[in-house]
Amino acid sequence: MNDKPKRIKRAISGWVVLDKPYDMTSTQAVGKVRWLFSAAKAGHAGTLDPLATGILPIALGEATKAVPQVQDGTKIYRFAIKWGSATTTDDAEGEVVSTSDIRPERAALEAVLPAFTGTIMQRPPIYSALKVDGERAYDLARAGEAVDLPPRAIDVDAIELIEHGGEQSVLEVTCGKGTYVRSLARDIAEALGTRGHVSVLHRAAVGPFHDQDALTIDRLEALSLEERDALLKPVAAGFAGLPEIRLDAQQANAVRHGNAVLLTGAGSPVSLDECWVSFRGEVLATGWVEFGQFKCRRVFN
């Protein structure tokens, strides 16, 4: 008979900016953090491959409602391309499918990078979570089925060469939602007449969250529950960069019930595509402003 007391789940809300360790899935990382905080609800803002490290924003409680805003934010990745071999997965996890003796010169690599900035078309890796006829592409690929993923438009703000060597080069890319760094590495290699795959991948930023904000699982495990709570970022941290509108008590009460409110006072916006409203520092809702009225998209408790 197991007399161990049942762990009580808490209605706690906020962000844990996790430095996800190598060889752990994003789902495993969320489960571990949820357990460490005894949180009733948890989710993450943007999957990281198991072999990747770095920023995995984990939302607890009400912060899960802000996941779309964080997920849509700009991302920064630092990655290494290993020259001379292409793999099934476009990273070190896959089997080598083709090789090349060509090792690009630094000048040649720098010359092709501008072609990979701006809005470009990218073919996602077949080992990805994208769905094909309701099935995950990676499940079909592992089952040996042919997977055809059409190219998609992605936004790459900047790409910079950090280190260059004969066998691998390190780059940093600033990009938008939906960018696959594995595809970027594959395509850069092909543009240089060789083959390549990602050998190291680290995500340094997601939206408002950066490396300097990150906590390791080891650090969290070493703390008491109260100390962990003190490190939680507020729900509103997910909205950094979005316009905030502060409401009075009467407006706040209306928004809590999902009602639209007329914004009054000097400087009140007439039109906004996306914003959030607060009362005494607490997040009330996300939404938009139309004809001077704030309209709710998601209401927070």
Of 279, 281, 274, the closest CA to residue 297 belongs to 274
The answer to whether the pTM exceeds 0.85 is: yes
DSSP type of residue 176: -
- The one catalytic residue in 3, 23, 49, 248 is 49
The chain-wide mean pLDDT, for the chain, equals 93
Angle at 169 between CA 205 and CA 87, to 5 degrees: 90
Beta bridge partners of 67: none
Pairwise CA distance, residues 71 & 45, whole Å: 5
Residue 4 has pLDDT above 70, yes or no: no
Look at phi and psi of residue 288 and say left if phi exceeds 0, alpha if psi is from -120 to 50, else beta: beta
| pLDDT tens for each residue of 201-252 | 999 999 999 999 999 999 999 999 999 999 999 999 999 989 999 999 999 9
Residue 7 has pLDDT above 80, yes or no: no
| pLDDT tens for each residue of 135-180 | 887 787 787 777 778 899 999 999 999 999 999 999 999 999 999 9
The answer to whether 218 is a known catalytic residue is no
Regarding predicted confidence, which is higher, 190 or 8? 190
CB neighbourhood size of 261 (10 A): 22
